[in-house]
């Protein structure tokens, strides 16, 4: 029977590959891999001799339909894998899964490693509700706006970041979401695995003091239960300043323009509200 197994692979420690995943990869007719060179090394370790075909972010949209058609027409057992972790979670695979679903091909998960969930599990944060955002925008303005948007959602957020931008991300959290707490995991399950805990200021100091900071891959967990007004003015009361009130309305779902209109309707002077809105924009545009 045609079937697609979405198969999780280790994020660093090969011993984390489950016996079920090994059996699935061995018995499959076809392994669809993000990078066949990476998966080939995994197959060699576990003596898996299944045929490999590439299915990655840059060719998946063009190949998904044809791959799904072949799985159905040839009645193949296929296994989808990425380089590390669970496919489709900040990794390619969703186009192929969608194509299989559209053709009534059963799609079955073979669960295993997921860096974000692993990092949350050691964070110590109350993660009964959390959101996963993957990689955030690179530009400082867009990054700060995205962090403000994240603050409107669940109070625990999981992010991915490269070693070359993790300091910039931590600085942006420090500036934009005062009161946040962070758990920053590097190279989970690998030889030089390291996890940092604390405020953005504490984490930033440890990152800058570590000569190996720009090595490895990072998963960052934010605890936003106790965040204060993002970027409050230094000489104003964060509870009463117009900027803080605008931000609080935006956290409740209003756009900046809608927040301005609400404050004006509450009796605040229109020009003062406009100036506060311009100040917010200036903070977010600060390089």
Residue ranges covered by each domain of the chain? 3-113, 116-223, 242-285
* Residue pair 6/88 in contact by the 8 Å Cβ criterion: yes
Statement: 116-223 belongs to CATH 3.30.950.10: yes
Is the domain spanning 3-113 CATH 3.40.1010.10? The answer is: yes
pLDDT tens over the chain, length 287 residues:
899 999 999 999 999 999 999 999 999 999 999 999 999 999 999 999 999 999 998 888 899 999 999 999 999 999 999 999 999 999 999 999 999 999 999 999 999 999 999 999 999 999 999 999 999 999 998 999 999 999 989 999 999 999 999 999 999 999 999 889 999 999 999 998 999 999 999 999 999 999 999 999 999 999 998 886 554 444 334 445 788 888 889 888 899 999 999 998 988 888 888 888 887 887 766 55
The Cα–Cα gap between 65 and 102 comes to 10
Global pTM exceeds 0.85 = no
Edge-to-edge strands of the sheet including 107-110?
52-54, 30-33, 77-81, 3-7, 107-110
């Amino acid at each position: 029977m045609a079937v697609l197994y979405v198969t999780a692979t280790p994020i660093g420690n090969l011993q984390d590959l489950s016996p079920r995943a090994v059996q699935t990869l061995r018995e499959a007719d076809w392994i669809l891999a993000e990078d066949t060179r990476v998966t080939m090394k995994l197959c060699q370790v576990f003596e898996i001799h299944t045929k490999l075909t590439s299915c990655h972010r840059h060719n998946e949209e063009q190949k998904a339909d044809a791959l799904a058609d072949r799985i159905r027409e040839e009645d193949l057992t296929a296994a989808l894998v990425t380089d590390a972790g669970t496919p489709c979670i900040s990794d390619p695979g969703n186009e192929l899964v969608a194509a299989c679903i559209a053709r009534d091909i059963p799609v079955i998960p073979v669960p295993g490693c997921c860096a974000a969930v692993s990092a949350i599990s050691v964070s110590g944060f109350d993660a009964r509700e959390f959101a996963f955002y993957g990689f955030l925008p690179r530009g400082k303005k867009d990054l700060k706006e995205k962090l403000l948007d994240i603050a409107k959602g669940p109070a625990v957020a999981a992010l991915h970041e490269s070693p070359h931008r993790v300091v910039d991300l931590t600085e942006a959290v420090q500036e934009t979401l005062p009161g946040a707490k962070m758990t920053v995991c590097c190279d989970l399950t690998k030889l030089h695995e390291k996890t940092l805990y604390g405020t953005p200021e504490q984490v930033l100091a440890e990152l800058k003091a570590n000569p190996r900071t720009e090595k490895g891959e990072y998963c960052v967990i934010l605890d936003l239960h106790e965040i204060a007004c993002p970027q409050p003015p230094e000489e104003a009361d964060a509870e009463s300043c117009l900027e803080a009130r605008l931000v609080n309305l935006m956290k409740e779902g209003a756009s900046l323009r809608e927040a301005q209109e609400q404050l004006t309707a509450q009796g605040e002077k229109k020009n003062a509200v406009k100036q506060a809105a311009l100040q917010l924009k200036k903070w977010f545009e600060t390089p």
